[in-house]
């Protein structure tokens, strides 16, 4: 396949994750690119990973192989994947609203309920698709759910995926026990039964918990388990104690809360007092994040949950569903962080990787 990747893609802008830290940036950079071969020059994301300093390459290989196995409207796909020297290039569709974490960054008090319903509905479709393949995602987090401006929601990051089919004897397992070091970034969203690591193991219902956590986070504006003093041990303790996250709105607001309000948090209290989430949303959260597996809904039960009645009615017609979501997104549009805009462009072009990239143009490569 004589694909000249240099000529196909043109770098437009450098993208930055809102929650990115320096360390992660060392090895990978993200760019907004456009495909010049296509008529309308559609935008994509280019993730450039420098493999030179990384010791474990098998992670990327399994990750990419997961991308190749899936094909669903609501799952992130890999448009292209190629190596230039030691740099791994991954081309993915561009989600202009960024991830849900970005959305929360610009709206610290949370987003509106109808939008959450839309995001949840589409994510649910993606998880159901994975469930049909007997795959547990385990990586459902606000930073892995992307929102496009055409109302499409994409679920990304398959690095935590695990199959329910045993690699030893090829049989379908009822429960799995796998727990590795890799999951530590995901602790906030992991279901209690995964963290316990006890003899009961966990199954496909654990993804439902993570989904509920994301919904709760989108509504409240932040994760309930973030910033605990003792860190991870606190999360574990809280989850053992049976604490479940809740939606903060006027029904949950009590006099004590209002009394405690000071300059620091008064606006948040005001916000809580103003809003009221529907009964369905409360029961949706409750059935998702229940600590006990019996009272947690399965994916199929969630599909028919009253919270989604609007989406369900429209689900036959994808366009109208998306139109509705786009309308909702309009209100967030002006507030969204436009990836530091074009004024950064000069700066990035003088930066090392871009120039590096230009230099490489004349080289040939094979793989």
Q: Which stretch binds another protein (CB under 8 A): 47-55, 87-95, 116-124, 215-223?
A: 215-223
Residue 274 interacts with another protein (CB under 8 A): yes or no: no
Using CB under 8 A as the binding rule, whether residue 18 contacts another protein is answered as: no
Residue selected from 58, 264, 343, 364 as contacting another protein according to rule CB under 8 A: 264
**Rule CB under 8 A: which of 83-142 touch another protein?**
108-109
**Spatial CA neighbour of 204 closest among 132, 122, 287, 284:** 132
**Binding residue (CB under 8 A) for another protein from 3, 26, 252, 331:** 252
Nearer to another protein, 62 or 358 (CB): 62
Please tell me whether residue 17 binds another protein under the rule CB under 8 A: no
> Taking contact as CB under 8 A, which single stretch among the options 1-9, 183-191, 303-311, 354-362 is the one that binds another protein?
183-191
259 interacts with another protein by CB under 8 A? yes
Binding status of residue 246 toward another protein by CB under 8 A: yes
Interaction pattern, residues 136-175, with another protein; x per rule: CB under 8 A: --------------------------------xx------
Query: Which residues, in sequence order, are bridge partners of residue 11?
Result: 33
Binding site for another protein (CB under 8 A): 108-109, 168-169, 176-181, 183-184, 187, 195-201, 220-224, 226-238, 240-244, 246, 248, 251-252, 254, 256-257, 259-260, 262, 264-265, 268-269, 279, 282-283, 286, 291-292
């Amino acid at each position: 396949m004589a694909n000249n990747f240099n000529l196909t893609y043109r770098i437009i802008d450098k993208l930055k994750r809102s929650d990115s830290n320096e360390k992660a940036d060392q090895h990978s950079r993200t760019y907004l690119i456009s495909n010049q071969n296509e008529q309308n020059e559609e935008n994509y994301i280019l993730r450039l990973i420098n493999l030179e300093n990384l010791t474990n390459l098998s992670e990327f290989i399994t990750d990419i192989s997961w991308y190749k196995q899936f094909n669903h409207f609501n799952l992130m796909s890999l448009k292209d994947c190629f190596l230039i020297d030691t740099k791994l290039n991954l081309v993915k569709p561009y989600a202009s609203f960024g991830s849900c974490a970005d959305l929360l960054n610009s709206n610290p008090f949370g987003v509106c309920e109808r939008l959450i319903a839309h995001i949840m509905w589409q994510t649910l479709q993606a998880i159901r698709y994975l469930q049909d393949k007997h795959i547990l995602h385990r990586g459902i987090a606000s930073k892995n759910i992307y929102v496009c401006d055409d109302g499409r929601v994409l679920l990304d990051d398959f690095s935590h995926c695990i199959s329910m089919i045993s690699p030893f004897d090829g049989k379908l397992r009822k429960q799995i026990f796998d727990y590795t070091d890799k999951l530590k970034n995901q602790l906030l969203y992991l279901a209690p039964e995964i963290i316990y690591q006890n003899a009961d193991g966990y199954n496909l219902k654990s993804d439902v918990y993570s989904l509920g956590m994301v919904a709760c986070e989108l509504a409240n504006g932040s994760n309930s388990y973030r910033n605990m003093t003792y860190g991870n041990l606190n999360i574990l303790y809280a989850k053992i104690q049976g604490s479940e996250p809740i939606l903060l709105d006027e029904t949950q607001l009590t006099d004590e809360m209002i009394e405690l309000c000071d300059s620091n948090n008064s606006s948040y209290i005001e916000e809580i007092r103003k809003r009221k989430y529907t009964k369905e949303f409360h029961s949706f959260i409750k059935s998702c994040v229940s600590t006990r597996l019996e009272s947690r809904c399965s994916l199929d039960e969630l599909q028919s949950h009253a919270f989604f009645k609007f989406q369900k009615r429209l689900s036959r017609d994808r366009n109208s569903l998306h139109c509705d979501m786009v309308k909702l997104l309009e209100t967030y549009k002006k507030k969204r962080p436009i990836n530091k805009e074009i004024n950064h462009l000069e700066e990035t072009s003088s930066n090392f990787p871009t120039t590096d990239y230009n230099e490489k143009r004349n080289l040939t490569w094979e793989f």
